[in-house]
Chain A
């Protein structure tokens, strides 16, 4: 069974600090990886995706992927109180049905003013 694991948190960081969110996945053939942000009672919204090993930066967000270790992370620089939300890691499955996403349970981030 394909699994995506995240530390549920809560992860608390002070305003202005770097928040580091981690995710591991079991399907070694997975090709692409997505980070979604979900505010309480709202639907997930895409922050960024990554499919090549290494780092990908978009504004204050950096996604990091290490396929050998089956590990993907999201760094949020200069964290703001508005970043307080649950962050969901999603993995696009390999093989048949490769357009489906498997989600982790999410990490709840709290940015303290």
Chain B
């Protein structure tokens, strides 16, 4: 049973046209993350929520925004996608506490910018 669900799996958008990616979870985890992964690179953390507290990585471009309306859902908004934003976007969740706390990933959204 899928526990972290991302929609859509594949998204094609035009250069400069706003796009929203969504993520939902059934794990009731406090923390939700958005990662960007380009080919042959490590997943790069864009931002994360601990409950409703938003935490932005210092080098995340302003073009990227996020919303978490409730525990289960989180959205990634790209206001004006550029060609360099084409990547796999991964949503993940985790509990807050625990040394062995792992991140559970969704299946990812592959974004293409044309």
Contacts of A32 in B (CB 8 A): 99-101
A95 to chain B, nearest CB (A): 14
Whether A31 pairs with B99 at a CB distance below 8 angstroms is yes
Q: With A32-B99, A44-B90 known to touch, is A105 a contact of B105 (CB < 8 Å)? A: no
B41 within 8 Å of A (CB atoms): yes
Per the CB 8 Å criterion, the residue count for chain A at the interface is 25
A25 within 8 Å of B (CB atoms): no
Q: With A43-B105, A43-B106 known to touch, is A51 a contact of B99 (CB < 8 Å)? A: yes
Per the CB 8 Å criterion, the residue count for chain B at the interface is 27
Contacts between chains A and B (CB distance < 8 A), count: 56
B108 within 8 Å of A (CB atoms): yes
Give A102 to B50 CA distance when docked, in angstroms.
Answer: 17
Contacts of A45 in B (CB 8 A): 105
B93 to chain A, nearest CB (A): 11
Give A100 to B41 CA distance when docked, in angstroms.
Answer: 18
Whether B50 pairs with A99 at a CB distance below 8 angstroms is yes
A101 within 8 Å of B (CB atoms): yes
**22 A–B pairs (Cβ distance < 8 Å), ordered by A:** A8-B40, A31-B99, A32-B100, A32-B101, A42-B107, A42-B108, A43-B90, A43-B106, A44-B90, A45-B105, A88-B43, A90-B103, A92-B99, A92-B101, A97-B55, A99-B31, A99-B50, A99-B94, A99-B97, A100-B33, A101-B45, A101-B103
Q: Which residues of A contact B (CB under 8 A)?
A: 4, 8, 31-32, 34, 41-46, 49, 51, 88, 90, 92, 97, 99-106
